[in-house]
Structures are given as C-alpha cells and as structure tokens.
Amino acid sequence: MAENTSTQNLSGAEKAAIFLSALPEDKTAKVFQSLRDHEIEKIIKAILALDAPPKEVVKAVIQEAYNILKETSPFKIAPDHLKKILEQSLPPDKLQKLLEETFISEEGKTIFKELEKMDPKMVAGLIQNEHPQVIAMILSQLSPMKAADIIQHLPKRIGITNVQEEVIKRIASIEKISTQMLKVVADSLEEEILTLGAGKGETLSGIDIAAEIVNNLPKDVGQEILDEIRKEDTVLADTIEEKMFKFEDIAKLDNRAIIEILKEVDKNDLLVALKGAPQEIIDKFLANMSKRAAQMFLEDMEVLGPMKKSEVENARKKVIAVIKELIEKGVIDYGSGEEMI
C-alpha cells in the first residue's frame, strides 16, 4: 500500500490511534475487545500523546487503511471519548487498572517531563517552599542527575531544618508512591510550571533513588549530606551508602569482577579515570591484564599528562556506570557481604 505523504511521519500506533478515534464508539469498542492488553495500552498512550490532527491526516489514515473513505462520527480524540469506549469493551476491574496505570500516570508524566527540561535553579526556586516530603516525591520522579542538580540549589537550612538532608532522607524512605498521589502533586505544580513556560515512569525503591542522586552530587556535597543524615539515623545513612558505588570501592572487587569490567569499559575512559587514583586500584587493573597490555597501558598513562579534575571525575562516573550495570545484571557481585569461594 502506497504511503500518503501526510501520514509518512506517523508511527503505526499513532495511525491506529487516529483511525480508532475516528470510528463510531461502538465500532471502536469491538476493536478493543479483540486486542491484547499491551496493544490496548500502546494505543491509549498514543491517543493521549497526540494533538488533534488535521482533517486531511485523518482522511489519509482512513484511506490508507481501507482505500475507501467511509462515513465516520465527528473526530474526537479526548480522553473522555476514550474512556467511554473502554467502558463498553473492558471488564470493570481491567478498566480500573488501565485508568490508574495509564491515564493517571501519563497525565502526571507530562509535568515531570517539563521539570526535566527546566533550569535546575528555577525548579529549586519553584519547589523550595514545599514540604520536604512533597519535594522528595517530585525529585524521585526525575532522573538522578537532574535531581542532584536541583538539590544543590535548595537552601541548606530553613529554620532548624536542613532541607537537602531531609529531602534525601525522605526519598530513601519512599516505598511506593500511588499514581493518585503523584497526580495530586503534578496538578499542584502544573499551573506554575506552565506559567514559567516550561519523569520517571518506573517506580524504584526510595533507597535506590536516594543513592543515585547522592552519587550524582559533587563528592563533597554528597558526603556532607550523608554525614548530616548519619547524625540522626545511622542505619539510613549506611543503607544509602551501601547502595552507592564509589570509585574507591573498586578496591573491594575481586579479580573476576575486574576482568569483566575490562571487557566492557572504554579504555580511554579508564585511562583518564585512573589519573591520580590510589595505587591499589591501578594495580588491580594492571594485575588482570596481560604483561604486554599492562605495559602499554602504563605507557599510555604516562603520555596522558596533567588532566582537569572535572575531566577525571566525568571519566570515573562513566566507569562507575559500567560497573553498576554489571552489578545490576548479576555479571559481577558487590555488596552481598558474603565471601565468595
């Protein structure tokens, strides 16, 4: 079937969304009844993400699907229209689950996507007067790097409260955030964000999120926050730290882990990352290379010359990212506290 120029930039899901939204509700309901759950979810997300398309695009989609333009109901793509269709085609329990997991989360994600695009200092100014629990919920939905940037611009203290410390503590204490609660938080931010002209769909454990954020903070800032948390809650501070992986922790890895890291890490990143590193860590890598490879690596390190601290830190972050990925995949073991034999 020849593709119309007005539809060539549309994905299959977007074309399906436009086509189904153009059909009478009873016909669309019958289509939904024959689809699998993941197909329904994909089309729902496409419908919610689409702006109302021009009439010629709607017509082109229908022509492409049927080659004959048929009588259709007035084109509607609003969520209310979609909900009516789903009510006719899905059992109540399945409908409720889809509404909670898809409609609410997709609406809420829009606000957090806007926060991701905004200047960290501006976001900090926007949320700094919120309760630390609300700030924690907001930052838990952003990328760890973005959240770390924002935390640095939050006031250290408001009255007797250390805001940075309190927010990290509360993120670490998050077990699960309901989509309804996120929607409430998102709604409260929406008007201000849109006025200014401005997430993480997956729910991770609060400890994991807190550790990732602290990992992305400058070393001295992250350590200061952990020290403050430790004064009040030693167990929480230790738990966050256990979830983190610092460059110095490479010294704790066994030879098998070092071999796996050497397979995956970029050689140039490793060269820069080892600049000024403890000799123990350098020796660990050299000991797991062939004699010739180790000699060449040492020569490359000598040629490298002086490096900016920021360049070394960025290279170390890349090496740490590789290590954490290997740990998460179970390729290497770290933090179990149990000796391997």
pLDDT reported for residue 1: 41
What is the residue type of 227?
D
Angle formed by the axes of helices 144-151 and 206-216, to 10°? 70
Q: What pTM does this model have?
A: 0.41
State the DSSP string of 93-150: HHHHHHIIIIIIHHHHHHHHHHHHHS-HHHHHHHHTTS-HHHHHHHHHTS-HHHHHHH
* Helix residue ranges per DSSP H, the chain: 12-22, 25-33, 37-49, 55-66, 79-89, 92-98, 105-117, 120-127, 132-140, 144-151, 163-173, 179-196, 206-216, 219-232, 234-243, 255-264, 267-273, 279-287, 291-304, 309-328
Domains by residue range for the chain, with CATH: 12-90 (1.10.220), 108-242 (1.10.220.30), 246-328 (1.10.220.30)
Please give the C-alpha separations between residue 179 and each of 53, 99, 115, 137, 209, in angstroms, as whole numbers: 29, 10, 18, 11, 17
What integer best gives the mean pLDDT of the chain? 75
Confidence class of residue 337 from pLDDT cuts 50, 70 and 90? very low
Q: What is the pLDDT of residues 161-180, one digit of tens each?
A: 688 888 898 888 877 666 66
Q: What is the pLDDT of residues 84-119, one digit of tens each?
A: 666 666 677 666 666 555 544 555 566 777 778 778
Confidence class of residue 76 from pLDDT cuts 50, 70 and 90? very low
Q: What is the pLDDT of residues 125-157, one digit of tens each?
A: 888 878 888 888 888 888 888 889 899 888 877
